Structure 1
Amino acid sequence: MKLKSIEKIIKPGTPHFVGDGFRVHNFIPGSSTMKRMDPFIMMDYNSKYNFPPTNTPKGVGVHPHRGFETVTIAYKGRIEHNDSAGGGGVIGEGDVQWMTAASGVLHKEFHETAWSKKGGEFQMVQLWVNLPAKDKMSMPKYQAIANADIKKVLLPDNAGIVEVIAGEFQGEKGPAHTFSPISMFNLKLKKGAKTSLSFPSHYTTSLVMIEGNSMINENAEVFEDHFALFKSDGDTVTIEATTDCIILVLSGEPLNEPIAAHGPFVMNTQQELIEAFEDYNTGKFGSLN
């Protein structure tokens, strides 16, 4: 066992709005390049924010995607969404929306209508996961992952639980299908609890402190709403909760392929980007009202 060194800890920067419904801090690529974070190429974190009641749901209108997957994890609040491939629904607290844009979809997402009328605390993560070149032009698909379907592993001594969204932990596999090896866990620890996680040394590994504070590798405290990135120099991360906490843990094998990105399209070459814009402008992504 060798500890993964911490490369850096990033505090949340100045937030900005995506549409009018998502007040986010950008951690990827804001804190590191897409190449460094491969296969995780974008992360917007909506820290806890209170939205007042409204009869007009806030969110983001119709927009395109191609070449990657969007993963939305809801911690507080409720989100409605639809795409031009027929995917959609509502994700509530603890649920996950995993949309494979692949060859191209139109998408929109808003606060759920009923939730909007009451308002309240809203918190979420949206992550973009890159697709291998061979899968970028595959058919779009959608995975609605309810919290009840997420595997939950109890830690010894009543220390807490690990919710396995993707990948495997102690023999329990998460429900998400992925195109490359990825682990995605919600780690929920009680104050004073200790645990360790292991991932291959060359995997890109990071965490977001969703709630509370924790001591990482016995020498670095990571505070609420902060992001920590690990070097590819070891295989183990130790965590001790200094308060009750919730931690989003990400680890994935880099694709090590060229990245050509512009706006909502992430491909491998500039020519593929040009084709993506042409296909979008000529209606090949379908329609969505």
Structure 2
Amino acid sequence: MSLRSVHAVHPAERDDIRDLITRRPVPGRKVEQIDPFLFLNHHGPQVYRPNNQGLPFGPHPHRGFETVTFILEGELAHHDTGGHESIIRAGGVQWMTAGRGLVHSELSPDAFKRDGGPLEILQLWVNLPSNLKMVAPRYIGLQANEMPTVPAGDARVSLTAVSGHWFGATGPIQTLIDVQLAIVRIGAGASVTLPAPNSRNVFCYLVKGEVSINGDALAAFNLVEFAHDGDEVEIVASSDAVVLFGHAEPIGEPVVSHGPFVMNTQAEIHQAILDYQAGKMNGAG
């Protein structure tokens, strides 16, 4: 087994949405995607005052990909036109397959708007290949206790398995294209070696702390892009750290995006807009 070398580091750029602190490492100035990982918004960390307006993500459509939302702090209320509703709390995850089209909203529950509190959320967009872009929509919402959290080598390292197989644990979400994702928490001075098969693209984003990855120093709010020259990634934490880590086979198809739609051609984007305007993204047909 050998370590994959760091090809590039992509800092998240600040792009606040109303009063919501937001950072985005991908797409960025020097990276369009880590195929099939298209987009990451890191909201927070911040503390909302009592009697706040909450999150600003009212009803909006999606087609052609999946959204994976990690609620690190706070709460998130989900509703979509496929009939799915939930309130996911700190440590939980939402995995929504937009497929042929859904309209959904992601808002703060009334209790959070009334009382305020800490908030930190990651939302990752995962592409779908052309033969799956028009699949039936689906949604899975999991609370923290519905996903296995296991030690990862060092006793000061814990890993929450969301999808795929990690250190003897299997994430509860069965993905369409074998996406493996986990949240890794590493205590100061601890280290972990994570699997990263060299045929697959790795998504590695440092949410919190300072670490060394395969010998390269890295601070929070950075995305690491790896070369395909090994099959493992070693992370050593110099402070308590949190890492979003995963890997998947690249799709290798054209990506044409327009706002909330991600397809393969401009004609498909145009059709998505027409279908949304015609009210066809109700998730029922």
In the superposition, the TM-score normalised over structure 1's length comes to 0.92
In the alignment, which residue of structure 2 is the partner of 1:251? 247
Partner Cα distance (1:21, 1:76) in 2:
17
Partner Cα distance (2:53, 2:11) in 1:
32
State the one-letter code of the partner of 2:232: T
In the alignment, which residue of structure 1 is the partner of 2:81? 84
Q: CA deviation at 1:232?
A: 2.2
In the superposition, the TM-score normalised over structure 2's length comes to 0.93
- Paired residues of 1:145 and 1:176 also in contact (CA < 8 A): no
Tell me if 1:191 matches 2:222: no
Q: CA deviation at 1:14?
A: 2.4
In the alignment, which residue of structure 2 is the partner of 1:14? 14
Equivalenced residue count is 283
Within a 5 Å distance, the mapping from 1:1-289 to structure 2 comes to 1-17=1-17, 20=18, 22-34=20-32, 36-54=33-51, 56-217=53-214, 219-286=215-282
Helix, strand or coil for the counterpart of 2:13? coil
- Paired residues of 1:21 and 1:110 also in contact (CA < 8 A): no
State the one-letter code of the partner of 1:12: A
The percentage of aligned residue pairs carrying the same residue is: 33
State the one-letter code of the partner of 2:267: Q
Q: CA deviation at 1:32?
A: 4.6
CA RMSD in angstroms comes to: 1.7
Partner Cα distance (1:16, 1:272) in 2:
30
State the one-letter code of the partner of 2:188: K
- Paired residues of 2:13 and 2:28 also in contact (CA < 8 A): no
- Paired residues of 1:154 and 1:161 also in contact (CA < 8 A): yes
- Paired residues of 2:20 and 2:44 also in contact (CA < 8 A): no
Change (3 A) 1:57 1:238: closer
Greater shift in the superposed pair: 123-132 or 44-53: 44-53
Partner Cα distance (1:31, 1:280) in 2:
30
- Paired residues of 1:21 and 1:60 also in contact (CA < 8 A): no
Q: CA deviation at 1:78?
A: 0.8
Partner Cα distance (1:263, 1:188) in 2:
32
Partner Cα distance (1:61, 1:185) in 2:
27
Partner Cα distance (1:283, 1:121) in 2:
36
Helix, strand or coil for the counterpart of 1:159? strand
Helix, strand or coil for the counterpart of 1:158? strand
- Paired residues of 1:202 and 1:233 also in contact (CA < 8 A): no
Q: CA deviation at 1:31?
A: 4.8
